[in-house]
Amino acid sequence: MDVDAVIIWVDGEDEKFILRKNKFVEGKNKFESTNKTRFNQVNEISIVVRSIFKFASFVRNIYIVTDQQTPEIFRQSKAWSPFYKDRIFIVDHKEIFSGHLSVLPTFNASTIETMLQNIVGLSEHFIYFNDDMFLIKPTKKDDWFDNGKPIVRGRWKTQPNKLWYKRIRNFFFPNKLESWGFDRAQAISAKIAGFEKRYFKTYHTPRALNKLVLKDYFNKNKSLLSEQIIFRFRHHSQYLCYSLIWHYSIKKNLVVTSNKTMLEEINVKADTSNFKVINKVKRAIKDKDILFLNIQSMDLLKPQTIKKINAILDDIIGINLSDLD
């Protein structure tokens, strides 16, 4: 069974990208479109790529999905051993949005990830990474797929509209429903798939998916696809493609659910203690039950903290891509 990896990536500080994005900034999407940490990067993708080669050695190819951009790690790959450099590819948005080019350019991860199954040459089984999701321990195919079925890690939760305190909050603060939310998007996804009372909440880990299931679902639900991808910036009405397909697959017995998240998730904010972030990274590495590390908004950390984290992760990855070990 072949397994590929897919990473979506953007350099939010690229001047051409900024010019393209600014053409579509308007009042109703101003927060999403001007929230720099949504688009900024500090070369985390370099760690992601190397961690995949090191800790998911079964992965066949790595596809990096971008919008007319090329990450530095791809340029560096030209000096790698053919064993590695011949397995990393850049995929432009125009490829995966073929037939839907009118919605481009898009700056919306929820829109982009809905189209990943259209990558030319992508294996039936693949793992979808954001560029802030790192592997920190060796993994094998069985950690991602159970007899070919994607393993979905998370926990069952009650639908928000079934919780009295959330109904009261939404009554007094209806504007809360007009901003995008990770949990809410999962709840929306579950509802579309027919789960009215609960949803399977997942976290910021790499996501195991089946390309053929995705293609078949959206071929049968073309309006759902069209309604999703029209948004150039994240919108509160959007679902999460992988969450939707997982809930659909739960009903069809096409996935296996697990409550073992095996994750350390660090959500950095402007006032986050840099010292605590470094300690969390170190503890995650020592914890034998944690395979995945997610550091959201890493760009908000101090430069010396980012350098320290990179050094810690470089030390455990320790892969020489120029030669075969």
CATH number, domain with residue 181: 3.90.550
pLDDT score at 38: 47
Q: Report pTM.
A: 0.92
322 is a domain residue: no
Nearest to 166 by CA among 154, 151, 184, 152: 184
324 is a domain residue: no
* 149-175 as b/e: b if 16+ CB within 10 A: bbbbbbeebebbeeeeeeeeeeeeeee
Domain count, the chain: 1
323 is a domain residue: no
325 is a domain residue: no
For residue 190, the enclosing domain spans 3-317
215 is a domain residue: yes
pLDDT score at 147: 96
130 is a domain residue: yes
N residues, the chain: 325
Nearest to 144 by CA among 240, 258, 65: 258
pLDDT score at 175: 72
Tens of pLDDT along 254-269? Answer: 999 999 999 999 999 9
pLDDT less than 70: residues of the chain:
27-41, 163-167, 170-173, 176-178, 323-325
Per-residue tokens: 185: 């998007």
Per-residue tokens: 307: 């350098």
Nearest to 126 by CA among 75, 77, 91: 91
202 is a domain residue: yes
168 is a domain residue: yes
pLDDT score at 40: 54
